[in-house]
Structure 1
Amino acid sequence: MPAHQNASAADRPQPRGHSRRQVLQGAVTAGAGVMLGSGLLDRVASAAYATVAEYDVVVVGSGAAGMTAALTAAKRGLRTVVIEKAPTFGGSAARSGAGIWIPCNEVILAAGVPDTPTKAAAYLASVVGSTVPAGRQAAFLANGPAMISFVMRTSPLRFRWMEGYSDYYPDLPGGMPKGRSIEPDQLDGTVLGAELAHLNPSYIPTPAGTVVFSADYKWVTLAAVNAKGLAVSLEGVSRYTTAVLHGEKPLTMGQALAGGLRAGLLSANVPVWLNTPFVDLRFDGSGRVTGVVVVRNGTQTLVNATRGVIIGSGGFEHNLSMRTEFQRQPVGTDWTVGAKENTGDGIQAGRRAGAALDLMDDAWWGPAIPLPDEPYFCLAERTLPGGIMVNGDGVRFVNEAAPYSDVVHVMYDGNTTAPDIPAWLVVDQNYRNRYLFRDVAPTLPLPDAWYQSGAVYKDWTIEGLAAKIGVPPAALRGTVRRFNGFALTGKDLDFHRGDSAYDHYYTDPAVMPNSCLAPLLLPPFYAFKIVPGDLGTKGGMRTDARARVLRGDGSVIPGLYAAGNASGAVMGHSYAGAGSTIGPAMTFGYVAANDIADSPGA
């Protein structure tokens, strides 16, 4: 598609030797069928944009990709602005646990993690395969560590190694059973001043009176039955109390990441325009992107970008028409936990400009329970011993402890021949007595609204539960009996749950001989509906190793860059480890801004 087809008549690239006025006159004449007088043309041209602003770099989106890009551009001496359509900043990153997968970064090396560039390259290549060009993989690995160091130099952010959070495929070449992922350290929210009020809230707020890190979650889940879990929970209360006594507002996880990046932008004097929807790109006569059109304070506004535009506006998880066009059924916008403003605006603009698109059929999938308030993305719950996932035939079909994206891929692949969507997570009362479930403490009853919505069912017998969820009772009884045998021997002969180090991260070390497996024996029994949820989509504009947006023929759309979920993921159809969304998003935002700074004539 020609690059000019996305623009209004006044913005389309003008043929050489023709003035903007002549092009506008021709466009208006073609549309109306008559030649208009020059006075009306002047009014149309001047009315196109009530306001014009100019920066060197315009960044669309204030998530991890956008704010890292903006911070980099500003520190390279470029006048930079961030535009954000939401009334808050931070996007999906602010809602997340904020794991960041960056091999060989200074944080993990200082912690003694034996990572090397050779190991990292071998592992990423094994995970991604040929889906993503080797040059992009290499650019991510080469720039990621520098990006982390840069962020720590230019913002109040500090990071912690998520010790023990295994790479998702630790048995592949270069995989690390103790993991490479990092997360933000505790941040004092007062550094944001009045901007703290504009931080996008977290997906599931941390309980009042405690400070919890993402790496703590596995232990907090076990607090009722595990001494370390109890100690970690009490430590969270102590951290909170200490911070408050010092007049601080403690932030962790996605709140710390987004808050820290925004604090960096404040110190670099980078404006972030909230409530400013992105409308489209603007081009010059050569087809170069020269700015964006936005709606600011209710007025269509042209923002010129003399050096480049970086799209970091997120995915299209909340755009039903795009999901229907590109993704497998059943799919919808009700099962995602991505920021609600992620409707693919940047991807659509790139598509109109002629950008090739990659990985549009895929997402950062994960099993989710469609609770009545919002979907719940299952991490520990499907892995903890004493639970199994079954399909509509009442049989297991997947290793419940496998990486969450893989579980949903299996659900979709199998759903063509078996009723794998929805699936059901079946647990017993022993499971409920031992483990936190979402934010419901062990032994406490689940909310009535969960039952009323059909997300959860309960019965005193396996056969009765099967009848309630519509699966064959004999099949479910047989499945539970067979699984209970595996739990006693510690070996899952059907799906090898527990064979991988990753499988054991969210499990109960007190359960033997396999911490992933415990029998379902104690009534009542529960079934939680499982649907293909996601953290966001992972398809978007095709980019090169410099984060430049490419056309289908491989040529570059000059002046246009993309990072994060607005671009095709460097992880391809897979997921290397915790933080494989945010790590590359920040890295390619950093790459894009540096490329602009290094290429003044590009």
Structure 2
Amino acid sequence: MPESSTDPTPQPITPEPPAVPGPSRRTLLRGAALAGGALVAGAALGRPSPAHAEAEYDVVVVGAGAAGMTAALTAVKRGLSVVVVEKAPVFGGSAARSGAGIWIPNNEVILAAGVPDTPAKAAAYLARVVGDTVPAARQQAFLANGPAMISFVMRNSPLRFRFMEGYSDYYPEFPGGMPNGRSVEPDQLDGRVLGAELARLNPSYIPTPAGLVVFSADYKWLTLAAVNPKGLEVSAACLARGTAAALRGEKPLTMGQALAGGLRAGLLQAGVPVWLDTPLVDLRIDNGRATGVLVTREGTQTLVKARRGVIVGSGGFEHSAAMRAEFQRQPIGTDWTVGAASNTGDGIRAGERAGAALDLMEDSWWGPAIPLPGEPYFCLAERTLPGCILVNGKGERFVNEGAPYSDVVHVMYDRNTPSSPHIPAWLIVDQNYRNKYLFKDIAPLLPFPDSWYDSGAVFKAATVELLAQKIGVPQAALRATVSRFNGFALTGSDADFHRGDSIYDRYYADPFVRPNPCLAPLWLPPFYAFKIVPGDLGTKGGMRTDARARVLRADGSVIAGLYAAGNASGAVMGHSYAGAGSTLGPAMTFGYVAANDIAAG
């Protein structure tokens, strides 16, 4: 079949007769699956099925994100025929929007860079981070297959990877933790390898400034460019890369754009069709086995049969208000996530109807976010740099501001009560902070957009007391909190929350600030407050899977032929987050595992 997002639709065939209506949608669908009968959504609901087309492949992959495209690339290189169906009109999913850090211990890139990693260290560290939330066999499968996946991708696509030196594991003090990090990111990719498909690449969350080639690891130094010589050096290097690429006539891609683009280029080279604008309707289940998917393609319901297996990599449910309300703590919604807009849990719901058990549905890849107009801003460096604090609705600090972002939001939810509100929280900074550091994409000294203030996401005042009044926290409490923190900054020791004690805390800090690069007093007016809500990179709950990425029922039995990877499955990281790229590393690895398991037959 031609390699294109607009492959011709198969010819219509005679529709299957509708099944007899049952008492309820979920009861009938799950009952049919467990009873072993043929199940397709339209028929199972008792509605007349429209005329539909039919196609057949060895493997059907749902979702053209990092998990799905890695799975498809693996399957085709194992000699299987593959199609990828994608709901959105673009490919790449949340991966294309991301910084594309990838956490894979013991991969060939970090070992070549001299990282002193070993399988024993990685196993000890991951076990300490995850605990008993996730079976040891799944943890071991991730660690065993991750390095092979990285090597496979580099040998079967244009992708190459760089060590993110210095970006420590999130808990480097744990046994097996790496203070200098284990994460990699994509190297620069020329977008011309995609041809016309480049126009169908999901845009990045924060576009790179024109004329620059910026890697994820560069942002640490770009934030410090006004106060640190290395920041200027890195800025010059970004400009030099951009200039060189322009002179060569290239279309340079980095970060998530490079990752998604490189995987898609690998599929192009291998002749794998990727059908965009093709949403999943439901899974096809015959005698308890997944045998294909029903999708809508060009307005026609199409049954795509899978001779060997179905791999669901359709992402999470961060943009489903109903699912978030059903499974997650309040307050929650769909406005604070930066995940791909097409992630509404379709694959997870289809798996549930087929009998899949669900895990970790209450959790997400959380991070403090500012609800700016248009799109939330996920805070990384901004809350770690010296000269800022996070306070709750009582005007009190409640967490180490430099802690891993997921941990900060867990604390916000755990401590949020009517008498002690922690949602929203407030990031407080002074003008000295603004004079020195990039904030989002606003250079030091430059004013914030009026729309930020008009939306209620940002407030500004001449004194701490007036700022407290504007954001509705007790004035005396906020003044006392700032005064106490200023004392910690002068001594270099945060007696309340130990900010700066961990090497991870110091990654986004200012090395020119002494005695603690994470701590500086707030003293220079005016003062600013940024509303902080529980943002996320996506949800982390989904279908329960085993070490082979096979989908499981609640009784532990396997739904034959059905696999899941990425945010459509329960995260191997459990409720925690091992390091930069703990989303993408496992997503790609279990896509690779699933395809290899199908090929092994």
Partner of 2:351: 350
Partner of 1:6: 29
Q: Which amino acid aligns with 2:111?
A: L
In structure 2, distance between residues paired with 1:177 and 1:166: 5
Structure 1 unmatched ranges of 5 or more: 33-43
CA distance in 1, matches of 2:381, 2:265: 32
1:183 to 2:185 alignment? yes
Aligned equivalent of 1:168, options 167, 170, 188: 170
Query: Which TM-score applies when normalising by structure 1?
Result: 0.93
Output aligned runs, 1:359-438, within 5 Å.
Answer: 359-416=360-417, 418-438=420-440
Amino acid at match of 2:99: G
Contact 2:386/2:433, CA 8 A, preserved across alignment: yes
Residue equivalent to 1:488: 490
Q: Residues 63 and 312 of structure 1 are in contact (CA less than 8 Å); yes or no, is this contact kept in structure 2? A: yes
Is 1:471 matched with 2:494?
no
Distance in 1 between the 2:385 and 2:217 partners?
Answer: 16
Q: How has the CA–CA distance of structure 1 residues 346 and 166 changed in structure 2, closer, same or farther, with 3 Å as cutoff?
A: same
Query: How far apart, in 2, do the equivalents of 1:190 and 1:249 lie?
Result: 6
Distance (whole Å) between structure 1 residues aligned to residue 454 and residue 197 of structure 2: 39
Alpha-carbon deviations, 1:153-181, whole Å to 9, x = none?
00000000000000000010000110000
The amino acid that maps onto 1:447 is P
Give the letter for the 1:359 counterpart.
Answer: L
Change (3 A) 1:293 1:12: farther
Q: Per-residue deviation at 1:6? A: 2.9
What's the counterpart of residue 277 of structure 1?
A: 279
Q: Any unmatched runs of 5+ in structure 2?
A: 1-23
Aligned residue for 1:491, secondary structure, equals coil
Question: Counterpart in 2 of 1:510?
Answer: 512
Question: 1:322: which partner in 2?
Answer: 323
Structural mapping, 1:242-281, within 5 Å: 242-281=244-283
Amino acid at match of 2:540: K
Please tell me whether residue 292 in structure 1 is matched to residue 293 in structure 2. yes
| 1:408 partner letter | V
Partner of 1:335: 336
Q: Which amino acid aligns with 1:226?
A: N
2:432 maps to amino acid: N
Equivalent-residue separation in structure 1 for 2:317 and 2:399 (angstroms): 28
Who is 1:575 aligned against? 577
Partner of 2:524: 522
Q: Residue in 1 aligned with 2:101?
A: 99
**Which residue of structure 2 lines up, in the alignment, with residue 158 of structure 1?**
160
* CA distances 1:416-463 after superposition (whole Å, capped 9, x unpaired): 362111000000000000000000000000000000000000001000
Q: Is the 8 A contact 2:351 2:543 kept in 1?
A: yes
The 3 A distance-change label for structure 1 pair 14 and 117 is closer
Cα distance, 1:373 vs structure 2: 1.4
Structure 1 residue aligned with 2:9 = none
Q: Is the contact between residue 285 and residue 354 of structure 2 (CA under 8 Å) also seen in structure 1?
A: no
Aligned Cα RMSD in Å? 1.9
Hey, what's the Cα distance between the residues in 2 that align with 1:576 and 1:163? 16
Q: Is the 8 Å Cα contact of residues 565 and 585 (structure 1) preserved in structure 2?
A: yes
Determine the structure 2 residue equivalent to 1:301. 302
Q: C-alpha displacement at 1:50, in angstroms?
A: 2.0
Question: How many residues of Structure 1 are paired with residues of Structure 2 in the alignment?
Answer: 575
1:508–1:516 Cα contact (<8 Å) kept: yes
User: Are the counterparts in 2 of residues 287 and 558 from structure 1 also a CA contact under 8 Å?
Assistant: yes
CA distance 1:414–1:3, change in 2 (3 Å)? closer
Q: Which residue of 2 aligns with 1:553?
A: 555
Q: What does residue range 230-249 of structure 1 map to in structure 2 within 5 Å?
A: 230-249=232-251
1:157 and 1:173 map into 2 onto residues whose CA distance is: 32
For the 8 Å contact 2:101–2:580, the answer to whether it is kept is yes
Residue type of the partner of 1:117? Answer: P
Match runs of 1:64-143 below 5 Å: 64-143=66-145
SS of equivalent residue, structure 1 residue 467: helix
Match of residue 454 from structure 1: 456
The answer to whether the 8 Å contact 1:279/1:295 transfers is yes
Where do residues 433-444 of structure 1 align in structure 2 (5 Å cutoff)?
433-444=435-446
Q: In structure 2, do the counterparts of structure 1 residues 133 and 471 end up closer, same or farther at CA, with 3 Å as the change threshold?
A: same
CA drift of 1:13 comes to 7.2
Deviation at 1:3, TM superposition (A): 10
- 1:406 is paired with a residue of what secondary structure? helix
Aligned mates of 1:326, 1:3 — CA distance in 2: 17
Structure 1 pair 423/31, CA: closer, same or farther in 2 (3 Å)?
Answer: closer
Q: Is the 8 A contact 1:99 1:214 kept in 2?
A: yes
Q: Is the 8 A contact 2:67 2:313 kept in 1?
A: yes
Alignment-mate amino acid for residue 457 of structure 1: F
Residue type of the alignment partner of 1:423? A
Q: Report the Cα distance in structure 2 between the residues aligned to 1:87 and 1:336, rounded to whole angstroms.
A: 20
Q: Does the 8 Å CA contact 2:57/2:81 hold for their aligned counterparts?
A: yes
Q: 1:108 Cα deviation (Å)? A: 0.0
TM-score by length of 2: 0.93
Q: Whole-Å Cα distance in 2 between the matches of residues 479 and 140 of structure 1?
A: 43
One-letter code aligned to 1:159: F
| Deviation readout 1:481-511 (Å, 9 max, x if unpaired) | 0000000000000000000000000010000
1:48 Cα deviation from its structure 2 partner: 4.5
CA distance in 1, matches of 2:428, 2:465: 12
Instruction: Encode CA deviations 1:193-246: one digit per residue, 9 max, x unaligned.
Output: 000000000000011110110000000000011100011011101100101111
Question: Partners of 2:34 and 2:500 in 1: how far apart?
Answer: 58
Q: Read off the aligned partner of 1:164 and give its amino acid letter.
A: G
Tell me if structure 2 keeps the 8 A contact 1:4–1:12. no
Name the amino acid aligned to 1:413.
D
Between the two proteins, what is the percent identity of the paired residues? 78
- 2:111 and 2:386 map into 1 onto residues whose CA distance is 33
* Distance in 2 (alpha carbons) for counterparts of 1:472 and 1:154: 59
- In the TM superposition, what is the alpha-carbon distance from 1:548 to its structure 2 partner? 0.1
Question: Which residue does the alignment assign to 1:35?
Answer: none
Change (3 A) 1:593 1:175: same
Residues 43-68 of structure 1 deviation map (CA, whole Å, 9 limit, x = unaligned): x6xx6442100000000000000000
